Structure formats: C-alpha cells, structure tokens
Amino acid sequence: MRRFLTFTTALLVALAGTVAVAQQVTTPEALDAAMKKIGAAQGATAKAIKSDAFADARTQVAIVKQALGDVQGFWAANKKDDAVQMAKDAIAKITALEAALSAATPNQEAAFAAFKEAGGTCAACHKAYRVQNEDKTYSLRPGAI
C-alpha cells in the first residue's frame, strides 16, 4: 500500500510538473499568479505539518518548488541576477524541507525549522522586489524590471 501511495504521489507530481513546464512566467501578472500559488501552498504546508500530515505537506512543497522554478525563470528572463540567486536559494531551502518531510519518520520540529528557513529566503526577495498593497497582498515593486 505504501509503495502504491508513493508511486501515485510521484506520478501526480510529475504530471503537474509537465503541465507547469508548458506555462512560462514571462509577465508581471504571471509572476503575481505564481506568487499567489506559492503563498497558498505554503499556508497549506504549514497546516499539514502541524497536523502531522507529512504526505500532504510534501504535495504542497512540490507545488512551491515548481512555482519557484517558474519565478526563477522570470527573473532570469529579466536579467536580475540577484533575484535569480534568491530563487535558487529558496529552491535549495525547499529541497531541504522536502528531505525533512521525506524522512522515514518525519520530525515535526525539524520540518517546521526547515519551513522557517525557506520562508526567510522569500522575505529577502520580497524586501527587494515586492511591495505590500493596502489589502495586505504583494505585487511587483514598480521599476523592478
């Protein structure tokens, strides 16, 4: 049963990745959509970790990782090397979170620590390239590209 669930999860992630590859983030609007996807998946990840639903957390982390890849492509296309590096750093931290969640017996504290580390990389990019709107959402800082 466990092999079946692992295989099914891997298959779903691969299919989601295939669909996502077809959608490139090339506009500020597409960037905002990708960032909203990341925000929603991060919220779901935190709830899943808190509930010890580590399989659900892994699914949400895969969404974050894929969207961060899209974000990295956006910054590369716009020749923002520092933002590309921030995206790479975020992907590395998300990969560490994936590893914590994929342990034979995941540890909630270790998963939350890795989750917090990943959030720190998000904050650095937001500080440089995003602006918080009155409604508490974020958008691309004017003149950023």
Residue 53 pLDDT greater than 70, yes or no: yes
Residue 139 pLDDT greater than 90, yes or no: no
Residue 141 carries which DSSP code? P
Write out the H or E segment, with its range, that includes residue 137. Answer: none
Residue 23 pLDDT grade (very low, low, confident, very high; cuts 50, 70, 90): low
CA distance 68 to 91: 7
**3-state DSSP helix/strand/coil % of the chain, to nearest 5:** 75, 5, 20
Mean of the pLDDT values across residues 5-27?
57
Average pLDDT, the chain: 86
**Identity of the residue numbered 114:** A
Mean of the pLDDT values across residues 102-119?
93
Mean of the pLDDT values across residues 74-101?
95
Residue 15 pLDDT greater than 80, yes or no: no
Q: Cβ-count burial of 1 within 10 angstroms (0-12 exposed, 13-18 middle, 19+ buried)?
A: exposed
Q: The whole model's pTM is what?
A: 0.78
- Residue 18: the pLDDT is 45
CA distance 71 to 5: 29
Domain boundaries, the chain: 2-140
Fold of 2-140: Four Helix Bundle (Hemerythrin (Met), subunit A) (1.20.120)
